[in-house]
Structure 1
């Protein structure tokens, strides 16, 4: 990353989901510590009071001496108001409620289908997609009308289908999806260098990688640190830690009580099977394979040393963050500035021509991943320069992995068509074709119908 010698002072960012108590705060912090940019962030959320809280919080940063980037935050009541005049658009929304998510994640458990996340693939990913796609259709239409030249950064899952929907509705849109799962794998590769070479203090961005695949089912085929082939070292690392798993030295056994942690055993097993580095967290990776691999039952999940993420945990976490928000807005606590580790602000900076950046993003396949259908949303590295985003040619996955990736790509296409056409039978075919759905067809159909019934309010135009 080359740091800028100039400054841009009049940027307008539209934040859809601007009442967020997580992603929005990360953006605020990253904007505050970046000295090359300033401007206005318009916060739109269906929960207007939450957006107002973030307006108050964001504006408290303006006069702080430790804040380098000076931004004005403004809560707005309509999507049109947020989008009008926007240079950049950030989308980070929760499509539905936690009750909807509970149906996505926990109803399948009654049929023996376990999901560690339930937001990208599997029964939960499909129902979440059916709720989300219509929302993204409307967002895309309004971007086309009110801010057609803006760059659009998507953080919402299911990542591939959200991004694909934007392009289906508005083919000329300048949109890409961002996910931090690859970053964690780069940090793991830094641990490889520490464990096997005694090298400390290596930043994850110092490890140069070739990324290819689809979101949350992403792979690394090359990894280098200076003159060291980290990919070659990874085999030795996997062999050393395969049975026990590997966590950072200060976090031994942390996965047991943490819904988001793992011991990387799924990653290690996939490397032994396929000879390529899996580049997402174990919780996400496990969901892309037949359920009897890693998600057969609770004992199997425990064996592979990762965890399910129950919706009750998400509810408690939101309650905690809402309480934190009150304390921040009322001035009882001070907003802590620190870089989030996300790259949205760096991407904006590069698109403004203030820096060059190469990082992984989700965009349409124009040939950067061989063997995957053109037009599918794939995840590879891309080069960011002034008003330009160009994918890096990533090559081809091993055939055994490619066949699994392509299956999910075609299933995503089926889900998108089912949503656009409001076709329940087509949605059912995608449901039955998901690798996690290994139960008898009659049981799977019954489960599907129950899950659809629980999402009726989002499917009002469907013939159910």
Structure 2
């Protein structure tokens, strides 16, 4: 088994994945091929891989290269976790909209931040898909890079032959935390979740055949602080619990971020991810310096083995062990009241043959309605890139629930002009123009 990591310089996440992979005895001798365009980060990632292997008593073959095609050559699995533009691009995604009075919390999935993160990621995905087709056509592409739905829908459009699925731990941790609230063991519950990535829904949640939603209702009724969270508020109104954090969830609807009183009531951390991004830089520097001085990096005692999905996919491909996870994939009738061809998140079975998405059927209509609003932005952002039409960037922003709630259409177009100028060469050339509204 040869595993290629693209964007291996995301060393904190790389370390977590390597820890989970090498914790499986059957994967102790895998071949790990690390790639990053930043030589320093690549050296740090290689050092982390060797240290992690030593800590687990594993003996993988570790190679590192700034040449992506070389790193991908012969891979069975490709794990993509590139953040195009890094910390500075993240700050741009917050700062420019903030000047217009548009609030964001995470900015990596939908909204202005998600749209422009996608547009600067699509060229990377196109090149990656071309390389996979040339040097490892049978590989599974496991994508962690956000915005997940936009990235997977773009890949399906330009490279349908690539076996790509999106992986995200939001459903796992949502169920884990809900189980802690109602006091049942996480490993004993049965769950059905579906929707779109970062706006999925816990459709069924049971313990030994008992519906756990009534127990959650009781916990919420007892604890007024629980009611001061966005997704608890959404659950009480919509009837099913959302699968991503309140910070994320607040950005995908028009109801919260434009109102000062709602930000206070629901404790919404505006610009929260900007701080997380800064913390990630600090953690990278800490890890880099520790490795440079030969210091051992202790394992996190609270880390759960194999909590991430990519190691489970890889383990099932090697051993044939069947397990069920959540994946983002093309909607081929899997969710009947969401658009055909859209990127949806559904359960999937893993085995030696690969990843097998499950048929879900129709979502409750109020949940499907919100998902369709989400997917409108996805579809238009992908259309902008595929058609090379900069007007569709503005159309996507006009359809975005949070932007439309806070800004006039003139402001939305001007904001998109400023974002295009700010990101400059990171965007495809055909999308760098600023078409006037009258051109419509």
- Paired position in structure 2 for 1:123: 112
Deviations for 1:287-333, whole angstroms, at most 9, x for unmatched residues? 1101xx22124552231023231525422431232222320353223
Q: Does 1:454 align with 2:436?
A: no
Shift of 1:182: 1.0
Closer/same/farther in 2, CA of residues 103 and 299 from structure 1, 3 Å limit: farther
Shift of 1:40: 1.2
Deviates more, 1:294-303 or 1:339-348: 294-303
TM-score using structure 2 length = 0.92
Q: Does 1:89 align with 2:78?
A: yes
- Paired position in structure 1 for 2:266: 304
Counterpart among 8, 11, 22 of residue 32 in structure 1: 22
CA distance in 1 between partners of 2:199 and 2:71 (Å): 33
Counterpart among 220, 244, 259 of residue 225 in structure 2: 244
- Paired position in structure 2 for 1:162: 151
Kept after mapping to 2: 8 A contact 1:35/1:68: no
Kept after mapping to 2: 8 A contact 1:432/1:444: yes
Closer/same/farther in 2, CA of residues 295 and 421 from structure 1, 3 Å limit: same
CA distance in 1 between partners of 2:62 and 2:261 (Å): 48
CA distance in 2 between partners of 1:128 and 1:79 (Å): 21
Q: Does 1:12 align with 2:2?
A: yes
> Counterparts in 2 of 1:157-236, with a 5 A limit?
157-194=146-183, 199=184, 202=185, 204-236=186-218
- Paired position in structure 2 for 1:444: 412
- Paired position in structure 1 for 2:43: 52
Counterpart among 12, 35, 39 of residue 22 in structure 1: 12
Kept after mapping to 1: 8 A contact 2:168/2:327: yes
Kept after mapping to 2: 8 A contact 1:428/1:448: yes
CA distance in 1 between partners of 2:376 and 2:276 (Å): 32
> Residue 361 of structure 1: SS of its match in structure 2?
strand
Closer/same/farther in 2, CA of residues 335 and 48 from structure 1, 3 Å limit: farther
- Paired position in structure 2 for 1:391: 357
Shift of 1:68: 4.6
Q: Does 1:270 align with 2:234?
A: yes
- Paired position in structure 2 for 1:328: 291
Kept after mapping to 2: 8 A contact 1:414/1:430: yes
Shift of 1:25: 0.6
Shift of 1:335: 4.2
Deviations for 1:199-248, whole angstroms, at most 9, x for unmatched residues? 5xx2x34322111110101101101122322133223233333x3217xx
Counterpart among 345, 366, 383 of residue 417 in structure 1: 383
CA distance in 1 between partners of 2:48 and 2:242 (Å): 38
- Paired position in structure 2 for 1:4: none
Deviates more, 1:406-415 or 1:338-347: 338-347
Closer/same/farther in 2, CA of residues 61 and 311 from structure 1, 3 Å limit: closer
Kept after mapping to 1: 8 A contact 2:205/2:212: yes
Kept after mapping to 1: 8 A contact 2:35/2:42: yes
Q: Which runs of 5+ in 2 are unaligned?
A: 434-440
CA distance in 2 between partners of 1:169 and 1:417 (Å): 11
CA distance in 2 between partners of 1:312 and 1:274 (Å): 31
CA distance in 1 between partners of 2:144 and 2:398 (Å): 27
Number of positions where the alignment pairs a residue of Structure 1 with one of Structure 2: 425
Closer/same/farther in 2, CA of residues 317 and 299 from structure 1, 3 Å limit: farther
Shift of 1:60: 3.2
Closer/same/farther in 2, CA of residues 117 and 191 from structure 1, 3 Å limit: same
- Paired position in structure 1 for 2:438: none
CA distance in 2 between partners of 1:30 and 1:134 (Å): 30
TM-score using structure 1 length = 0.87
Deviations for 1:100-123, whole angstroms, at most 9, x for unmatched residues? 211212221222211110011011
CA distance in 2 between partners of 1:55 and 1:90 (Å): 15
Q: Which runs of 5+ in 1 are unaligned?
A: 1-10, 247-262
Closer/same/farther in 2, CA of residues 60 and 276 from structure 1, 3 Å limit: closer
> Counterparts in 2 of 1:132-151, with a 5 A limit?
132-151=121-140
- Paired position in structure 2 for 1:255: none
Kept after mapping to 2: 8 A contact 1:274/1:398: no
CA distance in 2 between partners of 1:449 and 1:229 (Å): 49
